[in-house]
């Protein structure tokens, strides 16, 4: 499974899950912006960085997802962090978090970094040791789905889908959550078709409902202005989002004045 991709999408769409993992209030995510960053010159890429939106007293959070044994992992991690801090204009303090599927993969050499690892600056999260009690959030449940064996993955996914329908009122957010769960299952069952996955999860009928289709359409339309800022053409956007070219052109025309105003 492409775990880096899954976790990037998860933290980007639902940043509150990260703060739940490190035992912080989920609402903390409202004051942060998540992205993946590259430390130039040495071409290091940090899986994820949560940057404070405005508060100089809030720490920068660095997060790495490590699903392979690597004895030099901590050497690379702290090199990346300190290079980023050296090149950043931000003066905020920092914290780190490493996500492992299990403690057995935490094999990095720590002797030279033990003070950092025991200072409270770095949290090491082992997914198989997270509390699986019934009251656990659907966010944590979705993270645990990443390491769920194939034999129980479909059942767990259906449970999460039912919880999402009950607990997430916003239709667009609910759709994003369901699509994230579906993506995890697609990676777990690479030989199954998208139609078979939808049937397995009971999503086939849901995706045909008017509410789901309208929410999906709205989500696509919201992506158009961002894709324009990345330099994509109207035709490329229409092809990527499977939308009518004229509809994309209409949304682009409405978005253009706002983009020009923001640059002034």
Q: What is the pLDDT of residues 87-119, one digit of tens each?
A: 899 999 999 999 999 999 999 999 999 999 999
What is the per-residue pLDDT for 213?
63
pLDDT band of residue 43 (cuts 50, 70, 90) is: low
Question: Nearest Cα to 49, choosing from 95, 5, 109, 87?
Answer: 95
Kindly list the domain boundaries of the chain, sorted by start residue: 3-147, 210-263
Quote the CA–CA distance of 132 and 156 in Å, as a whole number: 11
Phi, psi of 25 (to 5 degrees): -60, 135
What is the per-residue pLDDT for 260?
45
Full-model pTM: 0.76
What is the per-residue pLDDT for 46?
83
Question: Which segment, 165-174, 217-226, 235-244, 251-260, is predicted with the most confidence on average?
Answer: 165-174
Residue whose pair of structure tokens reads 């994820």 in the numeric block: 48
* Domain 3-147: CATH architecture, name and number where available: 3-Layer(aba) Sandwich (3.40)
Q: Which pLDDT tens digit goes with each residue over 206-223? A: 666 555 566 566 667 777
List the CATH code of the domain at 210-263. Answer: 1.10.10
Quote the CA–CA distance of 135 and 184 in Å, as a whole number: 22
């Amino acid at each position: 499974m492409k775990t880096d991709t899954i976790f990037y999408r998860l933290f980007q769409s639902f940043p509150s899950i990260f703060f739940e993992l490190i035992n912080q209030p989920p609402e903390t995510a409202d004051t942060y912006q998540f992205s993946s960053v590259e430390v130039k010159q040495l071409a290091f890429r940090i899986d994820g960085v949560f940057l404070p939106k405005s508060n100089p007293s809030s720490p920068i959070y660095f997060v790495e997802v490590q699903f392979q044994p690597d004895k030099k992992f901590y050497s690379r991690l702290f090199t990346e962090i300190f290079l980023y801090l050296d090149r950043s204009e931000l003066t905020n303090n920092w914290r780190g978090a490493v996500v492992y599927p299990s403690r057995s993969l935490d094999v990095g050499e720590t002797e030279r970094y033990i003070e950092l690892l025991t200072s409270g600056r770095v949290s090491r999260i082992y997914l198989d040791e997270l509390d699986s009690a019934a009251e656990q959030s659907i966010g944590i449940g979705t993270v645990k789905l990443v390491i769920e064996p194939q034999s129980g993955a479909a059942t767990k996914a259906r449970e999460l889908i039912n919880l999402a329908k009950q607990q997430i009122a916003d239709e667009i957010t609910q759709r994003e959550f369901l699509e994230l769960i579906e993506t995890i299952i697609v990676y777990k069952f690479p030989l199954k078709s998208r139609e078979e996955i939808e049937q397995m999860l009971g999503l086939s009928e849901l995706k045909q409902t008017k509410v789901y289709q309208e929410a999906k359409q709205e989500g696509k339309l919201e992506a158009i202005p961002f894709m324009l800022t990345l330099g994509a053409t109207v035709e490329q956007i229409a092809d990527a989002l499977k939308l009518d070219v004229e509809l994309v052109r209409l949304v682009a025309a409405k978005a253009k004045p706002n983009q020009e105003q923001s640059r002034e």
